[in-house]
Structure 1
Amino acid sequence: MTTKRSPIRRATAVAAAATAALVLAACGGNGDDTGSASSDQNTASPAASAPAQQGDHNAADVTFAQGMIPHHRQAIEMADLAATRAESADVKKLAGEIKKAQDPEIKTLSGWLTSWGEQVPAEGQGHGGHDMSGMMSAEEMKQLESSSGKAFDTAFLTMMVKHHEGAVAMAKTEQSDGTYQPAKDMAGAIITSQSAEIAQMNTLLGKS
């Protein structure tokens, strides 16, 4: 009986030991997996949150981009007229600088809106409804198109001062209300450059 019991007991003991080993391995595995998952999450969080932070924007940023695009387009339209209608070399040079600065900003603003899933203003949007931002009306644009020489220079400078003042006001709103840092940086650049151009244009108006 003893010899028969002994192998049975040994087999039972081996089975019990094997079961215990499996249980311990499973527990250990769970612990490792949990730690690994936790570690992976901790590691991934900064990387995952970085794009979200870079793309962090609010309604003010969208308003700034959607308003500044047609605003810049009109300034470029006005600048293009100066190339053939202006008499003053200073006015022509200023018009060229305005176009050179604002055309790339339109592309940047459009890219932001696209990345945010927002609508990019269509080309040729009307001139009306933007009085508060310094936009010219359709009648004012016709007046500018129909003038030339010194009369154009005076009309262009007078209208562009108003136009720039509108852009500066929009940029100041973006700086105070926006959250998207690249847009706030652009707003700061617009305030600096266009304020300087306003001073330059007022000087040219005094000479005309």
Structure 2
Amino acid sequence: MRALVAAPSTLLIAALLAAGCAAGPPDAAGTTAPSVAASTAVAAPGTALATGTAGPFSPTDIAWLQLTVAMAERVLPVLDLVPARTTDPAWRRLAAQIETTERANLAVSRRLLGDSGAPATNPHEGHDMPGMIGADELAALRSSTGKAFQRLFAGHLRAHLTQAVRIAGAEQRGGVHPETTALAAAVVRRGTTDLARLDRAGPDGRRAGQAA
């Protein structure tokens, strides 16, 4: 099992504690930013919020958007492998549908981060956390084909979707920016549907893609 690493550059919502990011970044004065627990009080009077084009962004909103971007950037190269690694049309269709959703979510997440004024850099670069495919796992996928690839792919995709739904649910409960929480709700809905389709697929893909 890969070791989890602590992200040094973002406030994180409480549900992300298990993802290996327990503390916030140092601020400009060199002190440590509020911990995960502090993010539950981001809407309290006196709490600083970043202002965007559609209202304020809390640290919870920004942390979720940053992690969503990082996770999408990890899963897209995996989805791109599918056409060359399996001839099964059901798996190809499933991957194409999920890729379309991931790219759309990534575009919206990046735009919202821009609106929030958060840094454009990825604070999770190089971190291996639940739901993120690491370099070794990507190499293993690239060296496999057919049913062996499908089994590996299914496992990594399930882990990604499960974590994405989990943290999006936390953003729904703890976020304050309307468009960001709406995106989180969409991630939960679509991710739950995709997980159900993946569960019905089985390890060999014979039933993949039957449910829309």
- What is the CA-CA distance between 1:206 and the residue it aligns to? 5.2
Q: Which has the larger radius of gyration?
A: 1
Q: Taking structure 1 as reference, are residues 207 and 181 closer, same or farther at Cα in structure 2, changes over 3 Å only?
A: same
Contact 1:88 1:150 in 2 (8 A): no
Aligned mates of 1:129, 1:159 — CA distance in 2: 13
Q: Which among 130, 134, 138 is matched to residue 135 of structure 2? A: 138
**8 Å CA contact 2:57, 2:177 repeated in 1:** yes
Q: Tell me, what secondary structure is at the counterpart of 1:87? A: coil
Match of 1:8 in 2: none
The alignment's TM-score, normalised by the length of structure 2, stands at: 0.67
- Which ranges of structure 2 fall in alignment gaps of 5 or more residues? 1-50, 206-212
Q: State whether residues 79 and 99 of structure 1, in contact with CA within 8 Å, keep that contact through their aligned partners in structure 2.
A: yes
Superimposed CA distance per residue, residues 115-166 of structure 1 (whole angstroms, 9 cap, x where no aligned partner): 211013449933x3322xx112222111111111111111111110111001
Partner AA of 1:71 in structure 2? M
Q: Counterparts of 2:141 and 2:203 in 1: how far apart (Å)? A: 19
Query: Which of residues 186, 193, 196 is equivalent to 1:189?
Result: 186
Give the CA RMSD over aligned residues: 2.2
Letter in 2 for 1:205: G
Q: Which residue of 2 aligns with 1:13?
A: none
SS where residue 176 of structure 2 aligns?
Answer: coil
SS across alignment from 2:128: coil
Question: CA 1:180–1:123 in 2, change beyond 3 Å: closer, same or farther?
Answer: closer
Contact 1:86 1:148 survives alignment (8 Å): yes
Distance (whole Å) between structure 2 residues aligned to residue 86 and residue 64 of structure 1: 33
1:17-75, Cα deviation, whole Å (9 max, x unpaired): xxxxxxxxxxxxxxxxxxxxxxxxxxxxxxxxxx8782211000000110000111222
Percent identity between matched residues is 22
- Distance in 1 (CA, whole Å) between partners of 2:136 and 2:203 is 25
Asked whether 1:93 is paired with 2:90, we answer: no
Higher helix proportion: 1
Q: For 2:124 and 2:169, locate their aligned partners in 1 and report how far apart those are by CA, in whole Å.
A: 26
For the structure 1 residues 124 and 169, does the alpha-carbon distance in structure 2 shift closer, same or farther, using more than 3 Å as the test? closer
In the TM superposition, 1:42-61 aligns within 5 A as 54-61=54-61
Where 1:56 maps in the other structure, the secondary structure is strand
For 1:200 and 1:121, locate their aligned partners in 2 and report how far apart those are by CA, in whole Å: 34
**Equivalence for 2:110:** 110
Structure 1 window deviating more from structure 2 (99-108 vs 164-173): it is: 99-108
The one of 189, 196, 200 equivalent to 2:197 is 200
> Could you tell me whether the CA contact under 8 Å between 1:56 and 1:179 is conserved in 2?
yes
CA contact (8 A) 1:76 1:98 kept: no
Q: Is the 8 A contact 2:154 2:203 kept in 1?
A: no
Q: How does 1:31-70 map to 2 (within 5 A)?
A: 54-70=54-70
Q: CA deviation at 1:203?
A: 1.3
User: Does 1:171 find its partner at 2:168?
Assistant: yes
1:14-29 equivalent positions in 2, closer than 5 A: none
